[in-house]
Homo-oligomer: A and B are copies of this chain.
């Protein structure tokens, strides 16, 4: 295993371009009270949930329509000033940082459901609606939107980072579930990509090019996503294992057998301990799988029996079932709070989150070697994972006042990424590149592929004003 040539970016290159007063005046004239230059507002829009920092944007436009986004974009283009789209602020890799200055366009007020097409299992929304609000809005249709990255992220932001999360093992990621987009381009024009048809061979797949482009190719103003019928039966279970390896081997065999499990999350003993403390639970403080099965009553039972059989072969114990919605919510809330529980376990700490994803056959090797390294490092950590997809997250809990801790954590991350890449995996399963993983991206795809990305970026955004300084240096 060779180390990757490039380290994670600990400190982004801060290179703000001037934001002329003439632009601020023009924005103020056009947007009035929809524009803010207040320090607190700018600072809130200049950070995300990651641990990297940069000075805030010069102003924030609260867009309420596609036209607003177009007008803000055109003014910014005139002055060659960067534009950063802001949804819910829940990204993790520095996506929202104004590393080259510029203005933020907050699309949070564009949060309407535009069209529910229940018969077609699709919905078209504005980008600022969050996934929970979307599910609330469609709850009477018998359908649901399954993508669940944990945070109550905006649909636009989830599309921009190609997010996924706990349900992806069954329902796919934003890559599979975004059908169509309305996009404001770098010169303020509007294009539409895709249709509501389930499949298409109509030219370049601009939808998939835009999904995961992290705001660098356009700003999404409408998003059409797939919905799914609420399963007739849902059953959740937790199962404790004598070791992480036993839990992981259970997952690998489940996936290889083709069991259509809807969720299968690994939670290590550290995380269980933190979650117990945070959520006042009394879960066994051992590695655990949290599973969910969707389908007809018969299918759910069949799936559950298959997995229970596999788990017991690997020493899985204490299968506990949660079939009522309340019990399930309790379990999944605990899972979703793992991050916050962990951060609270070490007051004042920051979590540095890893995001590697490997082919399922290499999951145990990749994960266990990295657990050994994390244990040896002395850095407190927790480990959770969407292991059915081969994706897992270490959260290294560092004291941000001690640079040496950050460095040690990044070295762990570095070795983990190298290991994942050597196994045919990726440095980021779902968080995206942002500013943090720009070096890793080159190691993963090679300079030629990154050059191709740069060529596309230059072609679609010649002034480099769409969230510049993200994904790759330009």
Interface residues of A (CB under 8 A from B): 117, 119-122, 161-164, 168, 172-173, 175-176, 185, 189-193, 195-206, 208-209, 211-213, 217, 228-229, 231, 252, 255-258, 295-296, 298-299, 302, 355, 357-362, 389-391, 420-421, 424-433, 437, 440-441, 444-446, 448-450, 452-453, 455-456, 458-460, 471-472
Contacts and interface: CB of A to CB of B under 8 A. Distances in A.
A235 to B, nearest CB: 16
A209 B444 CA distance: 18
A193 B258 contact: no
Given A192-B445, A298-B302, A302-B296, A453 B204 contact: yes
Copies in the complex: 2
A359 B122 contact: yes
Contacts of A120: 359-362
28 contacts: A121-B255, A121-B256, A163-B201, A172-B176, A185-B448, A191-B446, A191-B452, A193-B449, A195-B444, A196-B425, A197-B420, A197-B425, A197-B429, A201-B432, A203-B441, A203-B445, A203-B471, A204-B213, A204-B456, A205-B209, A206-B452, A229-B257, A231-B258, A299-B299, A299-B302, A455-B460, A456-B459, A456-B460
Contacts of A302: 296, 298-299
A148 to B, nearest CB: 14
A3 to B, nearest CB: 18
Contact of A390 (B198, B206, B257, B445): B198
Contact of A228 (B212, B258, B430): B258
B430 A197 contact: no
Of A229, A426, A444, A450, most buried by chain B (CB within 10 Å of CB) is A426
A195 B199 CA distance: 23
A172 B208 CA distance: 15
B428 A200 contact: yes
A71 to B, nearest CB: 17
Contacts of A122: 359
Nearest to A204: B453
Contact of A472 (B191, B203, B420, B471): B203
Contacts of A360: 119-121, 198
Given A190-B448, A191-B448, A452-B460, A204 B199 contact: no
Nearest to A470: B203
B444 A202 contact: yes
**Which of A196, A198, A208, A445 is packed against the most chain B CB atoms within 10 Å?**
A198
Contacts of A164: 199
Nearest to A451: B191
B201 A161 contact: yes
Nearest to A168: B199
Contacts of A452: 185, 191, 204, 206, 460
Contacts of A441: 202-203
